[in-house]
Chains A and B, each alone.
Chain A
Amino acid sequence: MAAPAIPTIAEAAKRIAAKQLSPVELTRACLDRVRALDDRLHAFVHLTEERALAEAREAERAIMAGASKGPLHGIPIGLKDIVDTKGIPTTCGSKILQDNIPDTDAACAESLAEAGTVLIGKTTTHEFADGGPSFDLPKPPARNPWNTDHFTAGSSSGTGAAVAAGLILGGIGTDTGGSIRGPAALCGIAGIKPTYGLVSRAGVAPAAFSLDHIGPMAWTSEDCALMLQALAGYDARDPASADRPVPNYTAALGSGIKGLKVGVIHHFHEVDYKVSPGTQRGIDGTISALRELGAEIREVQLSPLQDWQACGSLISITERASAYDEWARTRLGDFSERVQRRLMLGALVSGVDYVQAVRRRRELRAELKAAMAGLDIVLTAAAPGEAPKIDNVPIWDVFDRPSFTIPFNVAGYPAMSICAGYGEGGLPVAVQLVGKPFDEATLFRVADAFEKATPHRNARPVLA
């Protein structure tokens, strides 16, 4: 492991503002790293090198002229390839959309462009944000930069790998059952699934309409806060968009967490599905660190993880089958084998099963609200352990093991994965922090305090 050579967004923003770092130099450094490493990582499916350099030059010109757009101006980013980008291929990782070039930008792409970011390219995704690592698609799956024999998790696999390896400083992920938090966990970065409705879904291919979230992934939680500031806000194009004021997500960073009340859902990761020893050490270490920083730790009891998994999976399977029904009927063989299997499942879920799941969802959400009364955040695992080998990822993981992340898609609550150390195999382990609806600011405050009090952000993966 070596000290980070690539700055965080916050560091780069300060240096750019002080005219000590050129957006053009920063962009060239990222592109150089892409050229040097991406033949092994497969983090990108499409590079926008010329556009990136043009945007970087324009950012530099504007900043030198005193017209900075803020901390994201001149920052190199990537967009998951299910995010529509005007004039740039958006394939959703599928043979079906190989020739798709949208004529408009997705809302999140628009927001980041308005904030002055520099688009390096489109990042690898599982096909239509589902299925797992597939080798029967036009592009190979992304590899984990901590060890390229290992999985990144998904479906925002390319963004996770690219951020961890320093190919970009931040990027967009989407999360229907854990597709931001899973890659963040296995790649050792920070990723937040915001409250449902906080970030517009307009222009992003659906996985499951009522579970889909868009959010930032970056090396630190502070960087995620800076990105979310640009992404959050009402958008009439998304029927689920929340019309409410957007707070300042970085205002409370550095103010400490003394007196904050943190609930731990021990039974999720110690009873319902036991995590690896390395992950358990990471979680225990996080709890100790938060206690030393002045937080009060409490115990939280919810319905078993399997109940949340059943609810979320039935909704996800059915909504996905509905979204892709036409292609499933007419072009099933054009999907990867993994996604074919997911789409087939839709035939087994009845309409009554689906509505019972949606009724259960209301009950589970009420349960979490009651459990969090008097608490500021709750905490559990983000993933069961370190990244598995990429050729050892189960086909039917939806049945094989419950997800630690899907409960908070079911509830719509904001949830974040941050690095909690390293396991026996030298790969990252993670912890998941969950806030109250629209209280992302408290999540960032806790995560930032933890990251700055521990050494886990000091080491980047080194690819030989």
Chain B
Amino acid sequence: MPADISDQTLDFLLARAGLDLTPAQKAELKSVYPGIAAMAERVRKPRGIMAEPAHAYGFNPVDLGEDL
């Protein structure tokens, strides 16, 4: 993941998110992008395809309507 972001890419991400920012807000967001990139690198480990996310779930009685 690159540690910086171009103006064009930032504009694309903001447009996709539907956020309408001022030039000052865009500049500030661009300045903190390396922090997000560093966090994303920290959670990206060599874990293979079978590692499950934490919120994989099981059906409980409410989901099955058994407590109604």
State the A residues within 8 Å of B (CB): 210, 236, 239, 243, 306-307, 309-311, 313-314, 317, 321, 325, 328-329, 332, 340-341, 343-350, 353, 355-363, 365, 396, 398-399
Chain B neighbourhood of A314, CB < 8 A = 36, 39-40, 43
Kindly name the residue among A310, A317, A321 whose own CB sees the greatest number of chain B CB atoms within 10 A. A310
A344/B21 contact (C-beta < 8 A), A314-B40, A358-B54, A361-B53 known = yes
Please indicate the chain A residues that have their CB under 8 angstroms from the CB of B35 in the complex: 396, 398-399
CA distance A350 to B36 in the complex (A): 10
Are B54 and A349 interface neighbours, CB within 8 A? no
Complex CA distance for A309 and B33, rounded to whole angstroms: 16
Residues of B within 8 A of A357 (CB): 43
Q: B64 interface residue, CB < 8 Å from A?
A: no
What are 10 pairs between A and B in contact, CB < 8 Å? Answer: A243-B61, A341-B25, A345-B36, A355-B53, A356-B43, A356-B44, A357-B43, A361-B53, A398-B35, A399-B32
The answer, yes or no, to whether B3 is at the interface (CB within 8 Å) is no
Q: Are A344 and B52 in contact (CB under 8 A)?
A: no
Question: Which residues from chain A contact B29 at a C-beta distance below 8 Å?
Answer: 341, 344-345, 347-348
- Which residues of B sit under 8 angstroms from A236, Cβ to Cβ? 62, 67
Contact of B47 among A310, A348, A363 (CB under 8 A): A363
**A310-B38 contact in complex given A345-B32, A361-B53, C-beta closer than 8 Å:** yes
CA distance A346 to B29 in the complex (A): 10
- Chain B CB count within 10 A is highest, among A344, A355, A361, for A344
Q: A347-B14, A355-B53, A361-B54 are in contact. Are A329 and B43 (CB under 8 A)?
A: no
* Cβ contacts under 8 Å, B62 to chain A: 236, 239
CB distance from A413 to the nearest CB of B (A): 13
Chain A residue numbers with a CB within 8 Å of B8 are none
Residues of B contacting A343 in the complex (Cβ-Cβ under 8 angstroms):
19
A332-B20, A344-B21, A355-B53 known; A313-B39 Cβ under 8 A: yes
For the complex of A and B, the 3 pairs showing the least CB-CB separation, nearest first, are A399-B35, A310-B39, A310-B42
CA distance A357 to B47 in the complex (A): 12
How many whole Å from A135's CB to the nearest CB in chain B?
18
Question: What residues on B are CB-neighbors of A396 within 8 Å?
Answer: 32, 35
Kindly list chain B residues whose C-beta atoms are within 8 Å of the C-beta of A365: 54
Contacts of B47 in A (CB 8 A): 359, 363
Q: A439 CA to B39 CA in the complex, in Å?
A: 31
A451 to B67, alpha carbons, bound, how many Å?
42
- CB pair B32–A329 under 8 Å, yes or no, is no
What CA separation (Å) do A343 and B25 show in the bound complex?
12
| Contact (Cβ within 8 A) B36 A341 | no
**A329→B54 contact, CB < 8 A:** no
Chain A residue, CB-CB nearest to B60? A243
Q: Contacts A356-B43, A356-B44, A357-B43 given; indicate if A347 touches B52 (C-beta within 8 A).
A: no
Query: In whole Å, how far is B11's beta carbon from the nearest beta carbon of chain A?
Result: 10
A313 to B40, CA, bound (A): 10
B18 an interface residue at 8 Å Cβ cutoff? yes
Among B11-68, those with CB < 8 Å from A are 13-14, 16-21, 25, 28-29, 32-33, 35-36, 38-40, 42-45, 47, 51-55, 60-62, 67
Whether B38 contacts A359 by the Cβ 8 Å rule is no
- CB proximity of B42 to chain A, nearest CB, Å: 4
B1 CB to closest chain A CB (Å) equals: 8
> B21: which A residues are within 8 A, CB to CB?
332, 344
B40: contacting residue among A243, A325, A353, CB under 8 A: A353
- Docked pose: A398 CA to B43 CA in angstroms: 16
Known interface pairs A329-B19, A347-B13. Does A362 touch B52 (Cβ–Cβ under 8 Å)? yes
Q: Looking across the interface, which residue of chain A has its beta carbon closest to that of B37?
A: A348
B46 to chain A, nearest CB (A): 11
The complex places the Cα of A309 from the Cα of B38 at a distance, in Å, of: 11
Most interface-central of B13, B16, B32, B33 (chain A CB within 10 A)? B32
Known: A341-B28, A399-B35. 15 other contacts (CB 8 A): A210-B54, A309-B39, A310-B38, A310-B42, A313-B39, A314-B43, A328-B18, A332-B20, A332-B21, A348-B36, A359-B54, A361-B53, A363-B47, A363-B51, A396-B32
